[in-house]
Chain A
Amino acid sequence: MNENEIPEMPKDFGFGPDEEMLRDLAKKLLDQEMPIEKMRRLVAADPAATYEEGQRPGWDEALWRQCIELGWTGLAVPESEGGAGFKMVGIAALVEEVGGHALASPLLATLNATYVLREAGTQQARVGLRAIADGASASLAITNQRGAWDHARPDIVATPKDDGYVLRGSAYFVQDAFKSDLFVVQARLEQEGGGEGQGGGSILCVLRSGTSGLALSQDHIHDLTRDQATLVLDDVMVVAANVVSTHGVETLDRAWPAILTTVAADLCGSSEWQLQTTVEYAKTRKQFDRPIGFFQAVKHPLSNGMIAIDRARSLVYHAACCIDVNLESGTDAGFEGALQNARMAKSAASDAGRFMSDRSVQLHGGIGFTWECDVHLYFKRSMHNQMLYGDATHQRRALADMIIGKVSSDAG
């Protein structure tokens, strides 16, 4: 597999001193500013308020401003647009720390929107990138009501009018929408003559959160460490000059490896927290006069969890490295390889997340089943991320086409 790209890959995934420093600073900051007790106070103070009354859980906006000062919104923005232009492998390591602290923030959404704008490559996309580098948060509004991850048929329709388009309809499952300043919106082109485009293409444009005709309708979700919404557009006018891509599906496809890798990295971080927290509990909780970690029915699953996490982490760094090499080369040669490896990373990370979520609750025993125990915070963040942009099975279904070939039509 991927024989051609093997010689180009740096031995160390391209993870050098800069990337190490970025990660270690993130870890230090989050260890200091977002200890688990503080996070619990912020997001899990009142279950009834969240789940019965639909209040959005809190988040630390002051800390987010600090992250912006540190340049986190601009991590993936090229230096030419005022960003840090960090390598994906460094960003992945930072996101692991973010996942490890279950940080409520628009970071993942902003990174994912950044990758899309970066791939769009137009002048208008560069305007969006500069805004993000200056501290704007952003989110993708690309998913239809069915929750299809292939972004082939968005529910928002763009109808040509004057020198632009009128946008109407909704995008669903928009991540951290209430924390976002900008939305990268995908809209299906209505073909001339009024018929809706059947594969007629789609556009991407950037809308500010206060745009007239743009409304957010909050989703009631399990995860306490983010928000999610339906973005509703009611006749929003976009001038042609503000369209960032006229090949929406292709642009999103090209950003997909980075998007999958980012979510996978967050899963690796939360899974590692689940592992270490459960190990710590197994070392201290005594039953039958022994710490329960003595028993192999407890010890072995935790060893298995470690194996699953390490597989996922290595695949994340490899996918990130493929994306970096591909970006640097400026050619498309490595794209398929990057997509394949990112899908592998997302599949492995989703499986590791599912396994560690399961064991972290089960091995904490009775206390693990209560609101009082921290494991549910990570359980829910992980479950959300496992589904986001396609769960493990979804990724493997796509990988099967790449590795085995499409299902043949000949029967015999």
Chain B
Amino acid sequence: MTSMNQDQIEFQDYARRWLEENRPPAPRERLPITPLEIMSEAHRDYLQDWQGKVHGAGLVGADYPVEYGGFGHDGFQRIANQEMGRARTPMLINIVGLNMAGPTILAHGTQEQKKSLIPGCLSGSEIWCQGFSEPGAGSDMANQQTSAIPDGDNWIINGHKVWTSLGHFAKWMILIARTSKHHKYDGLTYFLMPIAGHAGVTVRPLVKITGESGFNEVLFEDAIVPDNLRLDDVGKGWTVAMTTLTFERGAAESAGGGGGDSAHPVRRLVDLAKNTWRDGRRASDDPVTRDAIVERAIIAEGMRQNGRRARVPALCDHPMRLPLQQKVTGSEFVQDNARLGVEIAGAHSTLYKLDEAAPDAGYWPLAYMNSYGHTIAAGTNEIQRNILGERVLGMPKSK
């Protein structure tokens, strides 16, 4: 959306060509909608292999420093992401590694941590999961009870994390644990925690409302993590977690179409409506459906232009006013689109993806149900509305 320099234009051509030439054949079994629903090892292997190839081609990690497995460019990654979206090539499996762990380690890690851990985030060879949620620490994220007790050069971890997407495939977890009971926020410390095959760590699947798995609970019983895998200082866990969440909420927004490709989900609804017959005419000819679709298009464009305006200080009254809206608008955009898709598909929305008559391979009802993951995760949208009302509008705290 912004003007590109010559290098970036050439890179865009290259990315477009490479993706066209290297698009992999579809896997035997249809892929789920997002990496968070990946259950089978066949899918994991397929997607890990794909991310490795894309990274090898320079389309992942494009803007990371070369010494950490990147390619040292400037402003290339956004272009690569746009091209991958446009080409509709398979998703990148290491979503937590790319959107959360990688950028957080780059911002807060030691030289050694960056050199040893970022390359695996980028290539997808080491899958990451996130350990920020506990049974008693959902919206009240600072209420973490998982404990980290110092023991020589190590820390001993005990506790229970939930809603851990990709936990069953993860080699690593970004973990916040309590190192002091005396301070709610300053008593938290951030660790880069080994998971797969690690002593004292148990990963158990949780099943979602869709019947799909893909996320887990993770139990720590005297699990040991060396001090050199602590990220930033003891007691700085909350601050570092805020860095991670900034990246996560930004990623949630672009997943919701706030990036370069916001027109795309609307285009999908238009296609569905044109191919659905109802009451003797196409759904795309029904005035109520047309109005609803256009409403989606306006919201998509509004999100896109909010993203543009957020970078123009003279047109922003409060520096956090637009950024803090992204999570709410992005996740509800996805949800409302999916719900509209369900409505348009009508009777065919009753069909699960295994049914051959399910339109768009069963996308709409599953996307609708899965969208609640986004309106609940990363701070429920109710909490986000509190934050907007309190931090931006200055109303009294609801607690």
A interface list, Cβ under 8 A from B: 1, 6-7, 9, 11-13, 15, 19-20, 93, 275, 279, 282-283, 290-291, 293-296, 298-300, 302-304, 306-307, 310-315, 317-318, 341, 344, 347-348, 393, 396-397, 399-400, 403-405, 407-408, 411-412
User: Across the interface, which residues of B come within 8 angstroms of A399, CB to CB?
Assistant: 294, 297-298
B311 in contact with A404 (CB, 8 Å) = no
B293 in contact with A315 (CB, 8 Å) = no
Known contacts: A294-B398, A300-B389, A310-B321. The answer to whether A403 contacts B309 by CB under 8 A is no
With beta carbons under 8 angstroms apart, the residue of B263, B281, B293 that contacts A404 is: B293
Q: Which chain B residues (311-329) contact chain A, with CB distance < 8 Å?
A: 311-312, 314-315, 321-322, 325, 328-329
A347→B299 CA distance, assembly (Å): 11
28 contacts between A and B (CB under 8 A): A1-B263, A12-B315, A279-B395, A283-B394, A293-B389, A299-B398, A300-B386, A303-B386, A303-B388, A306-B392, A310-B306, A310-B325, A311-B299, A313-B309, A314-B308, A318-B305, A344-B302, A347-B298, A396-B298, A397-B290, A399-B294, A399-B298, A400-B290, A403-B293, A404-B284, A404-B294, A411-B281, A412-B277
A314 in contact with B396 (CB, 8 Å) = no
A291→B394 CA distance, assembly (Å): 12
A293→B390 CA distance, assembly (Å): 9
Is the C-beta of B10 less than 8 angstroms from some C-beta in chain A?
no
Report B334 CB to chain A, min CB distance, Å: 15
Q: Which 7 A-B pairs have the closest CB atoms?
A: A311-B302, A293-B395, A314-B305, A299-B389, A400-B290, A303-B388, A303-B385
Chain B's closest residue to A312 (CB) is: B302
A412→B295 CA distance, assembly (Å): 27
Known contacts: A299-B385, A300-B382, A314-B305. The answer to whether A344 contacts B298 by CB under 8 A is yes
B385 in contact with A296 (CB, 8 Å) = yes
User: Across the interface, which residues of B come within 8 angstroms of A20, CB to CB?
Assistant: 314
User: Across the interface, which residues of A come within 8 angstroms of B315, CB to CB?
Assistant: 12-13, 15, 93, 313, 317
Chain A's closest residue to B263 (CB) is: A1
A300→B297 CA distance, assembly (Å): 24
Is the C-beta of B63 less than 8 angstroms from some C-beta in chain A?
no
Is the C-beta of B3 less than 8 angstroms from some C-beta in chain A?
yes
Chain A's closest residue to B287 (CB) is: A397
Chain A's closest residue to B262 (CB) is: A1
Known contacts: A7-B3, A299-B385, A306-B388. The answer to whether A396 contacts B321 by CB under 8 A is no
Q: Which chain B residues (337-389) contact chain A, with CB distance < 8 Å?
A: 382, 385-386, 388-389
Known contacts: A279-B393, A291-B396. The answer to whether A311 contacts B306 by CB under 8 A is yes
Number of interface residues of B (CB under 8 A): 53
Chain B's closest residue to A283 (CB) is: B395
Report A18 CB to chain B, min CB distance, Å: 11
Known contacts: A11-B311, A13-B309, A407-B285. The answer to whether A315 contacts B302 by CB under 8 A is yes
Known contacts: A300-B389, A314-B306. The answer to whether A348 contacts B298 by CB under 8 A is yes
Report B58 CB to chain A, min CB distance, Å: 23
User: Across the interface, which residues of B come within 8 angstroms of A405, CB to CB?
Assistant: 284
User: Across the interface, which residues of A come within 8 angstroms of B312, CB to CB?
Assistant: 11-13, 15
B305 in contact with A279 (CB, 8 Å) = no
User: Across the interface, which residues of A come within 8 angstroms of B293, CB to CB?
Assistant: 400, 403-404
User: DSSP class of A's interface residues: helix, strand, loop or mixed?
Assistant: helix
A191→B291 CA distance, assembly (Å): 38
Chain A's closest residue to B399 (CB) is: A294
Counting chain A CB atoms within 10 Å of each CB, which of B328, B385, B386, B392 scores highest? Answer: B385
Chain B's closest residue to A13 (CB) is: B312
With beta carbons under 8 angstroms apart, the residue of B284, B303, B314, B396 that contacts A290 is: B396
Report A244 CB to chain B, min CB distance, Å: 34
A408→B385 CA distance, assembly (Å): 42
A89→B218 CA distance, assembly (Å): 52
Counting chain A CB atoms within 10 Å of each CB, which of B390, B394, B395 scores highest? Answer: B395
A341→B301 CA distance, assembly (Å): 9
With beta carbons under 8 angstroms apart, the residue of A312, A400, A407, A412 that contacts B294 is: A400
B291 in contact with A299 (CB, 8 Å) = no
Known contacts: A15-B312, A404-B294. The answer to whether A318 contacts B301 by CB under 8 A is yes
A314→B315 CA distance, assembly (Å): 9
A313→B4 CA distance, assembly (Å): 26
A93→B2 CA distance, assembly (Å): 22
User: Across the interface, which residues of A come within 8 angstroms of B302, CB to CB?
Assistant: 310-312, 314-315, 344, 348
B329 in contact with A307 (CB, 8 Å) = yes
Counting chain B CB atoms within 10 Å of each CB, which of A296, A313, A341, A405 scores highest? Answer: A313
Report A305 CB to chain B, min CB distance, Å: 9
Known contacts: A303-B385, A304-B385, A403-B297. The answer to whether A11 contacts B308 by CB under 8 A is yes
Report A202 CB to chain B, min CB distance, Å: 29
Q: Which chain B residues (71-123) contact chain A, with CB distance < 8 Å?
A: none
Chain B's closest residue to A24 (CB) is: B314
A217→B295 CA distance, assembly (Å): 38
B309 in contact with A317 (CB, 8 Å) = yes
Is the C-beta of B152 less than 8 angstroms from some C-beta in chain A?
no
Report A15 CB to chain B, min CB distance, Å: 6
A404→B280 CA distance, assembly (Å): 18
